[in-house]
Amino acid sequence: MEALPPEFRLRSIRADNGLKMDNWWIWDPSIIRDEKGTYHMFASRWPQHMTFHPSWMTNSEVIRATSKNLEGPYTFQEVVLPARGAEYWDGRATHNPRICKGPDAYYLFYTGITHPFPEIDPERIFKTPDPECIVSRSNKRVGVAHAQSLEGPWTLSDRPVLETKPATYYSYLTSNASPIIHDDGSVIMTFKSKRYDGHQPGPMMLGIAQAPHPCGPYKMDEQPLWCQDAEIEDPFFWKDGNGYRIIAKDMEGVLCGEHGAGVALCSQDGHHWELSENPLAYRREVTWTGGKRQKLGSFERAFLYFENTIPVALVAAVADGPGGFTCADHTWNVVIPIDKE
């Protein structure tokens, strides 16, 4: 099976494509169209005067932007999931939104984070070994909010839907949910996890969870869906006539052959996975109107936008710079149309 059929081609994009916001890091795109034809992009943002990493773990918030055109440009509308206090499981930061329409409501899956520390001084050089980062990372959990309208109000849960569990591949954290909601309201999703290796977090893994309803309860597979000696993250999960599919970031390029590009996996049942026949799903590059191609520092959080079961756009969070978001000066979300030749 192919992640994207070979007859599909990515088109060029305009300079005003997608979602950009001055003075903000932008990440995590997820798009849905309402009944009136307006496109709603749910995304993450945090202040650009702070370092991109690891400040997303302490200061990210989920926002909503809209456009009359799938490609954008998108205009900021509101903060959807603001900080609500350290006592909540998602009270200090919200991240990784994934918007879905279920039979009875809209469901917004996201990663919630909390920590008990004061606000971080934006002038401070904030690093991953710092206590705020260690505690925030270990408190990452997947949750879901629901609403009757994409404009809210959103009902939040007092507990995450994917908790950690000792002696499992998700004993340290759960994050980056990518759900499929079936017509009967049941859900199967992929998620990212880490386990404890002693007192340190282990390698990134992907898992599968299922529930009779988007709000749970969820049951996780006992084994991660990918156990080979390669780290992959940020999955996008969907189903078509051939089975289940995933595209995800290949951290080192071990599986797809290109560092930081997308790898394609396939499965007949959603639980047993293998590499697709052509495992390279996408590259870290875009083509601008006029034909100029640009290799980006990061091309992540890939999301396929479908119309009538056909993928019509590849959506992603991108960064400039020579490579990796730690070298970036700007980040934004792109919407790349797919041509079928």
- Which domains are seen in the chain, by residue range? 11-229+297-340 (2.115.10.20)
pLDDT score recorded for residue 6: 55
**Residues 46, 301: Cα–Cα separation, whole Å:** 16
Contact in structure between 140 and 204 (CB atoms under 8 Å): no
pLDDT tens-digit readout, 134-183: 999 999 999 999 999 999 999 999 999 999 999 999 999 999 999 999 99
Using 50, 70 and 90 to split pLDDT, how confident is the model at 5? low
| DSSP 8-state assignment for residue 327 | G
Per-residue pLDDT band for 227 (boundaries 50, 70, 90) equals low
Q: In 74-204, at which residue ranges do the beta strands (DSSP E only) sit?
A: 75-81, 93-101, 106-113, 141-147, 173-181, 187-194, 196-197, 200-201
User: Alpha-carbon distance 3 to 208, whole Å?
Assistant: 18
Question: For tokens 């799938």, what's the residue?
Answer: 70
Strand order in the sheet with 106-113: 93-101, 106-113, 141-147
What CA–CA distances, in Å, run from 57 to 52, 145, 196?
10, 19, 19
Q: Categorize the per-residue pLDDT at 2 as very low, low, confident or very high, splitting at 50, 70 and 90.
A: very low
pTM, full prediction = 0.96
Q: Is 166 helix (H, G, I), strand (E, B) or coil?
A: coil
User: Token digits for 34?
Assistant: 């309402």
